[in-house]
């Protein structure tokens, strides 16, 4: 400027990889704020076509306001108060690195050959200075880049805290690339949403993370689903791009971004999130070195996510294993099917973080249908008492294809139905489905492979526990049941007798006892043989079971050819209408007192007569192999309270009544009377 006596000298650096000119330095006799603000401005050759001849053709370009014909150049010269300019290319080792512009604002001036020669000479050291400055900056940037990568790598090695690592990476990325804002987002594998996990801003204190945002789907986050970078290639978007879609433009406007660099976080082929660098003060074009640095920092963030997910997965697995151990203990320790399934249901809801209502258990009923556990238990109890015990073919409602598939294949089945993802895992025992567990989860979330395996383990344990409970109940039933007749045995009869007698005494409820003896049974055995006699006893047991209130009255084989039937809340005989009404009133009183009172039954004498006539009318030709075989019974009845002060006395009184029936000709029913003994 001094040698040529000009008002101002501007120095542009040229970056061929982006085709841009950057204002790098300015000297003027009187610098204005506008001059100072010019430093750092970026323009393309398309925006400043005048410089194309200087940069591309390497020509010295002179412009004079009085002669300027190009309207754009004339407008710019008038805007800056320029009367004459001369632009000289800066060439270093045959590469254009920028241009030097001499500007005169004081008076109209024409540059002569001497001025041109002197400008060319001065351009040589200026080009060298630009090259050296670039080399120094490049080395400084490389050092800063390496430092950023090392710091990010050091954080990965020294801590497993994901937020801490991401905060450091976002800060280093912002610093290394000299961006206004950096955000690191994690992609939710189930919902496809981006969650902003860490941010750093030029406006905040160094290293301070911005407030974290909640889940935001890709489209609403400003990265349209269609413009998400594929693979690991960065994507640069500018607000001034006329082809930019409206959604992305609007989202960038939220953050005031003029340029955005988006780099996918990819680890082992899995897209884990996005590194976003935003420029709010200027439009920016990134160099190849800067894009490589962004990739490197994105790789660090991807590794952090992958490590954190692996750590979380292992921690979750450990928690689930511990919970599974507790579940195994709870399920294995239960011998009641309802308790087994309740434990399994609660534990699965906790393990998979589901509402308990979204975990449903069904068991197979005797008719093959899959119903709620309580309904299945009641159906099986009724079937066993009725002499059944085997299940019919599995019958799954055709409207439940997921359960149907699981029950048929004996393997887990999963499908999306309406707004829910449904998983059904069968309960399998002895290669047969005895039930299933159904779980629901709101779409688009599904049940992962590890979760399916977890449910399978719990289902296997529950099925084994249910089978153990069934075997336990079978053994328990065998211990209290007579093997020949299927009725309760003598020992268990006395246990129930004491329980029912105590309840009768406590609440004043009637209790009747029938003692039944097969008439002339020894003679029958001598004539037809003991196997036929056993069949007669089994038939008597069947008749008793069919003539009483199932689940209320208590039939038992008392010993030999004698049987007993306890009839709770049942009057003996006499004015049975009044007795029934009294029994109902006493039952209501018992319920109000919190006791479980069985419904009032028909008078005991009526029950006894029904049993007697049923047995007397039974045809035994198939048993004896000959016609004319008839079996009859004699029945003695005793009742409490009032006629017996203790259980044993009730039995003795019923025995006395039975003795009277035998002595009076057999095949009859007699009741104990308090006056005169019988």
Is the CATH number of domain 334-465 3.30.450.40? yes
Domain residues of the chain, as ranges? 8-138, 159-311, 334-465, 490-671
Superfamily per CATH, domain 8-138: GAF domain (3.30.450.40)
Burial class (CB in 10 A: 0-12, 13-18, 19+), 476: exposed
Question: Which of 93-107, 433-447, 578-592 has the highest mean predicted lDDT (pLDDT)?
Answer: 93-107
pLDDT at residue 490 greater than cutoff 50: yes
pLDDT in tens, 363-386: 888 888 888 887 877 766 665 555
Instruction: Look up 561 and say whether it is catalytic.
Output: yes
CATH of the structural domain 159-311, one choice from 3.40.309.10, 3.30.450.40, 3.10.129.10, 3.30.300.130: 3.30.450.40
Q: What is the pLDDT of residues 263-276, one digit of tens each?
A: 998 888 888 888 89
> Cβ distance 452 to 425 under 8 Å?
yes
Looking up tokens 């998400």 gives: 228
Alpha helix segments (H runs only) across 200-287:
218-221, 246-254
- CA 343/CA 373 separation, integer angstroms: 13
Tens digits of residue pLDDT in 187-225: 776 566 777 888 888 765 444 444 444 444 444 444 433
What gap in Å lies between CA 652 and CA 664, rounded to an integer? Answer: 18
Phi then psi dihedrals of residue 355, to 5 deg: -65, 145
Is it the case that residue 612 has pLDDT exceeding 50? yes
Distance (Å, whole) CA 571 – CA 585: 13
pLDDT at 628 over 70: no
Give the pLDDT score at 297. Answer: 81
What is the percent of the chain with per-residue pLDDT over 90, rounded to a whole number? Answer: 17
Q: How far apart are CA 523 and CA 526, in angstroms?
A: 5
3-state secondary structure of 619: coil
Sequence-distant (≥ 6) Cβ neighbours of residue 378 within 8 angstroms: none
For residue 5, is pLDDT > 60?
Answer: yes
Instruction: Pick the closest to residue 154 from 144, 143, 163, 165 (CA basis).
Output: 165
Tokens of 635: 């029945």
Token reading at 352: 């998979």
Q: Could you please state the CATH topology (level 3) that the domain comprising 490-671 is classified under.
A: Alpha-Beta Plaits (3.30.70)
Model confidence at 581: pLDDT above 50: no
If pLDDT is split at 50, 70 and 90, which confidence band does 244 have? confident
Per-residue pLDDT, 222: 43
Single out the catalytic residue among 561, 562, 585, 588. Answer: 561
User: Structure pTM?
Assistant: 0.47
Which pLDDT value is given to residue 340? 74
- List Cβ<8 Å contacts ≥24 apart for 225-228: 228/262, 228/264, 228/274
Q: Do domains 334-465 and 490-671 have the same CATH topology?
A: no
Tally of CB atoms within 10 A around 410:
12
Tell whether the model's pLDDT for residue 514 goes beyond 60.
yes
CB under 8 Å to 159, separation ≥6 — which residues? 165
């Amino acid at each position: 400027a001094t040698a040529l006596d000009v008002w101002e000298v501007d120095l542009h650096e040229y970056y061929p990889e982006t085709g841009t000119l950057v204002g790098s330095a300015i000297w003027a006799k009187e610098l204005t704020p506008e001059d100072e603000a010019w430093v750092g401005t970026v323009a393309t050759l398309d925006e400043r076509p005048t410089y194309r001849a200087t940069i591309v053709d390497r020509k010295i370009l002179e412009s004079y306001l009085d002669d300027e014909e190009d309207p754009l150049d004339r407008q710019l010269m008038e805007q800056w108060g320029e009367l004459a300019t001369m632009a000289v290319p800066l060439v270093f080792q045959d590469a254009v690195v920028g241009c030097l512009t001499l500007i005169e604002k004081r008076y109209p001036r024409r540059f002569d050959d001497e001025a041109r020669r002197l400008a060319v000479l001065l351009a040589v050291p200026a080009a060298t200075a630009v090259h050296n400055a670039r080399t120094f900056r490049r080395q400084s940037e490389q050092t800063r880049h390496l430092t950023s990568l090392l710091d990010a790598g050091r954080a990965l090695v020294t801590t497993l805290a994901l937020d801490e690592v991401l905060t450091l990476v976002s800060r280093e990325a912002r610093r290394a690339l000299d961006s206004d804002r950096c955000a690191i987002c994690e992609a939710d594998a189930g919902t496809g949403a981006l969650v902003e996990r860490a941010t750093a801003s030029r406006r905040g204190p160094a290293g301070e993370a911005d407030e974290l945002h909640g889940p935001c789907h890709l489209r609403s986050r400003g990265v349209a689903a269609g413009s998400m970078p594929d693979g690991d290639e960065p994507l640069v978007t500018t607000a001034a791009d006329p082809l930019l879609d409206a959604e992305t433009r609007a989202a960038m406007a939220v953050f005031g971004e003029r340029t955005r660099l988006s780099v996918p976080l990819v680890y082992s082929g899995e897209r884990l999130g996005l590194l976003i660098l935003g420029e709010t003060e200027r439009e920016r074009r990134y160099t190849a070195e800067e894009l490589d640095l962004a990739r490197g920092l994105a790789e660090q963030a991807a590794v952090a996510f992958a490590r954190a997910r692996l750590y979380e997965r292992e921690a979750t697995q450990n928690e689930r294993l511990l919970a599974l151990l507790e579940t195994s203990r709870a399920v294995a320790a239960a011998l009641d099917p309802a308790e087994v399934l309740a434990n399994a249901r609660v534990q699965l809801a906790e393990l998979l973080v589901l509402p308990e209502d979204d975990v449903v258990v069904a068991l197979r009923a005797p008719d093959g249908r899959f119903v709620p556990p309580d309904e299945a238990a009641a159906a099986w109890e009724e079937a066993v008492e009725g002499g059944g015990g085997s299940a019919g073919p599995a019958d799954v409602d055709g409207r439940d294809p997921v359960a149907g598939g699981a029950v048929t294949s004996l393997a887990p089945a999963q499908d999306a139905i309406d707004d829910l993802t449904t998983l059904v895992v069968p309960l399998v025992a002895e290669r047969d489905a005895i039930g299933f567990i159904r779980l629901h989860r709101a779409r688009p979330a599904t049940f992962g492979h590890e979760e399916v395996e977890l449910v399978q383990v719990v289902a296997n344990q529950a099925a084994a526990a249910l089978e153990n409970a069934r075997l336990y109940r079978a053994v328990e039933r065998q211990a209290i049941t007579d093997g020949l007749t299927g009725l309760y045995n003598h020992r268990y009869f006395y246990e129930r007798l004491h329980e029912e007698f105590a309840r009768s005494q406590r609440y004043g409820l009637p209790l009747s006892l029938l003692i039944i003896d097969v008439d002339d049974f020894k003679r029958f055995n001598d004539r037809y043989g003991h196997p036929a006699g056993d069949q007669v006893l089994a038939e008597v047991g069947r008749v008793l079971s069919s003539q009483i209130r199932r689940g209320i009255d208590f039939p038992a084989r008392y010993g030999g050819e004698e049987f007993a039937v306890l009839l709770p809340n049942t009057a003996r005989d006499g004015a049975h209408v009044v007795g029934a009404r009294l029994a109902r009133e006493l039952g209501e009183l018992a319920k109000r007192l919190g006791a479980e009172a069985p419904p009032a039954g028909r008078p005991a004498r009526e029950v006894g007569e029904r049993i007697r006539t049923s047995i007397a009318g039974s045809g035994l030709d198939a048993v004896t192999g000959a016609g004319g075989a008839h079996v009859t019974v004699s029945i003695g009845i005793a009742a409490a309270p009032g006629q017996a002060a203790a259980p044993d006395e009730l039995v003795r009184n019923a025995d006395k009544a039975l003795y009277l029936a035998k002595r009076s000709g057999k095949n009859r029913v007699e009741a104990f009377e308090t006056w005169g003994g019988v």
